[in-house]
């Protein structure tokens, strides 16, 4: 991220000039849309570049030929990749034999649930303190009770291995990036693109390179999960107090001493925040990796989705949520604990050593028992709360869809017919150059020349990839869903921003919601609605709302108290206060919220491709499932990335323009650390 390009003078007023400028922008936006509608009315349906799901063009063929070439290639790179893959396979298989997969002739895995539970509890105590044992142990029991102990362990194994490797690579890279401006300049844009890419987009290229199975799942997971650890580490290293560095340098330390004794200890807490984010990203990806036969809880979710057994998906999803909460709590606690230890809290004394030794002895006993006795190895089947839940959910879904179908289909059809379809008609049924010009104009108005440039490059790429029409349909879904996200965000965000009580009660819910893998969001929505565009959008809205709400709430509550006081003393009504003071002053945060809303919705709409969202998401799913369409699927993946970059650039530059200097925080920093602040 480069720094803020223009810093406006430090005025906190929204004077006549500023208002006029804002109005001018609004007026020109409306003019562009009006023009667009006008031209569309006469040219509707011409040159829309629409192609069918089963159509392929030369460029898709070219991609397909490349994938075939890659699959059949035999050179240093491929053998290196093969070695990588088999190394990963061996590691995973070793762990699976230990915990989940019996190795013939043994009927059960080496270490059963009791042993795993004890090991996890001990680990939680060691890195995060005794309170976390109270989170981890019940979580493990719940995995068993829900009937998904093995799948949960598999997911943990894949996530754990991926996170370990991601950190092994990511933290050193982040340190390097924190030290070298050149490395930072090279790596940052790559990370930007990687973080704009929806998780689902990663799967296809990885399955082409590595095939299917646990190794691919772990590899794709580690690549997807690495960026936050790199970014946060670099940020943490750069954030180490320069005085301290100077002071210790003046004592004559060499580079290694500086890194080991000064930078790493002082950056540790922030780096663990990066570990948290990497872990959560890994969990999200490892779940979706069920598509490439990745073991774990994603499998039953997917199975349930494919067979329409939503109850099954729901229960497995519940287990994923429990795991997400468990991992999030543990890594967050590890971060605060590292801080406490650094400050010399008494948590490190003899009591702890004794507890660790005792815990180790108990763990060894548990491991032994689970190795030797069936009851401690196989989670007892008699106690199962998963099946009843599953049945209840299925019944609920039946009831919603049969007895309440008037309401659910009513909502769905009204929204689709009166909101979604007209917008899609405009965006996707305009001639491509009309839609393209309109988008460029909007980009220019919102984000200035740089946004215009980015949008032009991205649109050219989309055109070249021959998926223009599908891109426009996906874009519509993203825009429409984001509008809803922003309405929700403004309503709840303003409410939270104005009341601490509301903030304190709503925020934990939002925090929890943000830890859940996107995949899981589909399930409850599918219980309510049939699989189609609408459903995917609803899932996207639910997925994106928390981050948007939080950003807006922070923006509103960040308006300086003095300004609010001044406005109050001038006799503003509550509505005036919101519309004339708080929202205008929070507009930087609001655009930031729009930025995140767009990207979150985009990643969800793509996942929605498999529940009938159509367009690009479907192209990817299709490319994934029909070998002849792999080329088109890849093209669709790139198109999605281009859409993501375009939306990201437009809103980022727009946010920078709108951001008042007081809150001129660089976007990524703020986001990547938003969880640390909570």
Partner 1 sequence: MRTPRTSALLAAVALVSALALTACGGGDIENEDAAGGEECGTIDMAINPWVGYEASAHVVGYVAETKLGCTVNYKDLDEQVSWQGFGEGEVDVIIENWGHPELQKKYFESKGGDGSAMSAGPNGNEGIIGWYLPPWMAEEYPDITDWKNLNKYSELFQTPESGDKGTLYDGDPGFVTNDEALVKNLDLDYEVVFAGSENALIEGFRKAEENKTPYLGYFYEPQWFLSEVPLVKVELPEYTEGCDADPEEVACDYPLYTLDKIVATDFAESGSPGYELVENFKWTNEDQNEVAKMIASVGMDPEEAAQQWVEDNPDKVEAWLP
Partner 2 sequence: MTEVDTLPPNTADPGTTAALSVDGLWKVFGPRADKVIGTPDAELPRPELLKKTGCVAAVKEVSFDVAPGEVFVVMGLSGSGKSTLVRCLTRLIEPTAGTVTIDGHDITNASDAQLRDLRRHHVSMVFQHFGLLPHRQVIDNVAYGLEIRGVSKAERRKKAGEIVDLVGLTGNEQSYPDQLSGGMQQRVGLARALAGDPSLLLFDEPFSALDPLIRRDMQNEVIRLQEDLQKTMVFITHDLQEALKLGDRILIMRDGAIVQVGTPADVVANPADDYVRDFVSDVPRSHVLTLRYVMREPRPDDSSEGPIMSPDTIVRQAARAALASDHVVRVVDNGELVGIVDDDAILRIVVAEESVSP
Which of partner 2, partner 1, none has residue 615 at its interface (CB below 5 to 8 Å by kind)? none
Subset of 336-355 contacting partner 2 (CB under 8 A)? 342-344
Cβ atoms 138, 253 nearer than 8 A: no
- The torsion region of residue 532 among left (phi > 0), alpha (psi -120 to 50) and beta comes to beta
Helix (H) or strand (E) holding 58: helix 58-72
Residue 606 structure tokens: 């793509």
253 or 563: whose CB is closer to partner 2?
253
419 or 495: whose CB is closer to partner 1?
419
- Least separation in angstroms between residue 89's CB and partner 1 is 9
Cβ atoms 230, 170 nearer than 8 A: yes
108 or 495: whose CB is closer to partner 1?
108
Cβ atoms 122, 363 nearer than 8 A: yes
Residue 328 structure tokens: 């999030």
Q: At what angle do helices 630-658 and 181-196 cross, to 10 degrees?
A: 120
> For residue 292, which of 441, 88, 100 has the smallest C-alpha distance?
88
412 or 515: whose CB is closer to partner 1?
412
Which of partner 1, partner 2, none has residue 262 at its interface (CB below 5 to 8 Å by kind)? partner 2
- Least separation in angstroms between residue 617's CB and partner 1 is 10
- Least separation in angstroms between residue 676's CB and partner 2 is 17
Total residues contacting partner 2 by CB under 8 A comes to 22
Which of partner 1, partner 2, none has residue 251 at its interface (CB below 5 to 8 Å by kind)? partner 2
Cβ atoms 597, 590 nearer than 8 A: no
Subset of 219-258 contacting partner 2 (CB under 8 A)? 241, 243-254, 257
Which of partner 1, partner 2, none has residue 531 at its interface (CB below 5 to 8 Å by kind)? partner 1
8 or 307: whose CB is closer to partner 1?
307
Q: Alpha helices of 499-532 — where are they, by DSSP H? A: 500-515, 518-528
Subset of 284-343 contacting partner 2 (CB under 8 A)? 342-343
Which of partner 2, partner 1, none has residue 253 at its interface (CB below 5 to 8 Å by kind)? partner 2
**C-alpha to C-alpha distances, 418 to 37, 65, 537, 655, nearest whole angstrom:** 16, 42, 15, 30
Which of partner 1, partner 2, none has residue 500 at its interface (CB below 5 to 8 Å by kind)? none
| Burial degree of 495 (CB within 10 A; 0-12, 13-18, 19+) | middle
Collect all residues with Cβ–Cβ distance below 8 Å to 22 and sequence separation of at least 6: 584, 587
Counting contacts by CB under 8 A, is residue 265 touching partner 2? yes
- Least separation in angstroms between residue 433's CB and partner 2 is 44
- Least separation in angstroms between residue 274's CB and partner 1 is 18
9 or 105: whose CB is closer to partner 1?
105
Which of partner 1, partner 2, none has residue 249 at its interface (CB below 5 to 8 Å by kind)? partner 2
**C-alpha to C-alpha distances, 259 to 204, 233, 248, 590, nearest whole angstrom:** 39, 13, 11, 38
Counting contacts by CB under 8 A, is residue 182 touching partner 2? no
172 or 422: whose CB is closer to partner 1?
422
Which of partner 2, partner 1, none has residue 261 at its interface (CB below 5 to 8 Å by kind)? partner 2
Which of partner 1, partner 2, none has residue 628 at its interface (CB below 5 to 8 Å by kind)? partner 1
- Least separation in angstroms between residue 239's CB and partner 2 is 13
181 or 261: whose CB is closer to partner 2?
261
Residue 176 structure tokens: 């390097």
Secondary structure of residue 382 in the 3-state scheme: coil
Collect all residues with Cβ–Cβ distance below 8 Å to 515 and sequence separation of at least 6: 280, 324, 325, 327, 328
Residue 7 structure tokens: 């810093």
- Least separation in angstroms between residue 665's CB and partner 2 is 23
Residue 500 structure tokens: 């601490």
343 or 350: whose CB is closer to partner 2?
343
Report how far residue 645's alpha carbon sits from residue 548's, in angstroms, rounded to the nearest whole number.
18
Which spans of this chain sit near partner 2 (rule: CB under 8 A)? 241, 243-254, 257, 261-262, 265-266, 268, 342-344
């Amino acid at each position: 991220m480069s720094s803020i390009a223009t810093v406006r003078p430090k005025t906190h007023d929204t004077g006549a000039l500023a208002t006029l400028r804002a109005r001018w922008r609004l007026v020109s936006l409306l003019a562009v849309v009006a023009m667009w509608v006008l031209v569309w009315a006469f040219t509707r349906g011409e040159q829309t570049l629409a192609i069918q799901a089963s159509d392929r063009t030369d460029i898709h063929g070219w991609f397909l030929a490349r994938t075939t070439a890659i699959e059949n290639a035999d050179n240093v790179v491929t053998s290196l990749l093969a070695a990588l893959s088999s190394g990963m396979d061996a590691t995973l298989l070793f762990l699976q034999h230990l915990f989940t997969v019996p190795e013939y002739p043994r009927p059960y895995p080496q270490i059963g649930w009791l042993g795993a539970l004890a090991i996890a509890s001990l680990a939680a105590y060691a890195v995060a303190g005794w309170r976390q044992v109270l989170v981890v142990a019940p979580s493990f029991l719940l995995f068993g009770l829900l009937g998904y102990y093995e799948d949960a362990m598999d997911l943990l194994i894949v996530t754990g291995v991926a996170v370990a490797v991601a950190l092994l690579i990511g933290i050193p890279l982040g340190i390097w990036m924190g030290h070298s401006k050149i490395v930072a300049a090279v790596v940052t844009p790559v990370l930007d693109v990687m973080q704009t890419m929806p998780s689902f987009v990663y799967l296809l290229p990885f399955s082409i390179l590595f095939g299917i199975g646990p190794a691919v799942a772990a590899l794709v997971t580690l690549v997807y999960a690495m960026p936050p650890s790199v970014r946060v580490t670099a940020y943490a290293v750069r954030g180490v107090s320069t005085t301290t560095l100077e002071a210790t340098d003046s004592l004559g330390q060499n580079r290694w001493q500086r890194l080991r004794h000064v930078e790493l200890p002082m950056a540790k807490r922030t780096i663990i925040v990066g570990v948290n984010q990497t872990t959560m990203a890994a969990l999200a990806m490892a779940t979706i990796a069920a598509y490439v036969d990745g073991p774990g809880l994603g499998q039953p979710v997917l199975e349930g989705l494919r067979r329409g057994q939503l109850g099954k998906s729901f229960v497995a999803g519940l287990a994923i949520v429990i795991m997400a909460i468990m991992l999030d709590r543990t890594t967050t606690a590890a971060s605060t604990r590292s801080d406490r230890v650094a400050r010399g809290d008494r948590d490190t004394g003899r009591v702890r050593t004794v507890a660790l030794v005792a815990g180790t002895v108990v763990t060894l006993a548990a491991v032994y028992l689970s190795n030797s006795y069936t009851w401690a190895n196989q989670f007892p089947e008699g106690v199962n709360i998963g099946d009843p839940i599953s049945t209840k959910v299925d019944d609920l879904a039946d009831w919603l869809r049969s007895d309440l179908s008037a309401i659910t289909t009513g909502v769905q059809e009204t929204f689709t017919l009166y909101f979604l379809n007209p917008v899609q008609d405009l965006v996707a049924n305009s001639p491509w150059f009309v839609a393209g010009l309109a988008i460029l104009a909007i980009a220019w108005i919102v984000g200035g020349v740089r946004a215009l440039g980015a949008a032009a490059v991205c649109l050219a790429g989309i055109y070249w990839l021959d998926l223009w029409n599908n891109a426009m349909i996906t874009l519509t879904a993203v825009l429409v869903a984001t509008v809803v996200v922003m309405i929700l965000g403004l309503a709840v965000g303003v409410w939270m921003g104005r009341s601490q009580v509301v903030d304190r009660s709503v925020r934990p819910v939002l925090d929890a919601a943000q830890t859940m893998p996107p995949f899981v969001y589909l399930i409850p929505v599918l219980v309510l609605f049939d699989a189609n565009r609408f459903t995917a959008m609803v899932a996207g809205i639910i997925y994106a709302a928390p981050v948007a709400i939080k950003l807006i709430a922070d923006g509103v509550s960040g308006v300086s108290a003095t300004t609010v006081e001044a406005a109050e003393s001038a006799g503003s009504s509550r509505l005036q206060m919101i519309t004339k003071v708080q929202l205008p002053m929070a507009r930087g945060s609001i655009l930031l919220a729009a930025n995140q809303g767009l990207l979150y919705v985009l990643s969800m709409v793509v996942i929605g491709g498999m529940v009938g969202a159509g367009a690009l998401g479907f192209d990817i799913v299709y490319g994934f499932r029909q070998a002849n369409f792999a080329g088109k699927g890849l093209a669709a993946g790139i198109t999605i990335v281009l859409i993501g970059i375009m939306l990201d650039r437009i809103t980022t530059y727009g946010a920078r323009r709108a951001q008042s200097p007081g809150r001129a925080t660089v976007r990524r920093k703020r986001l990547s650390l938003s969880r640390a602040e909570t």
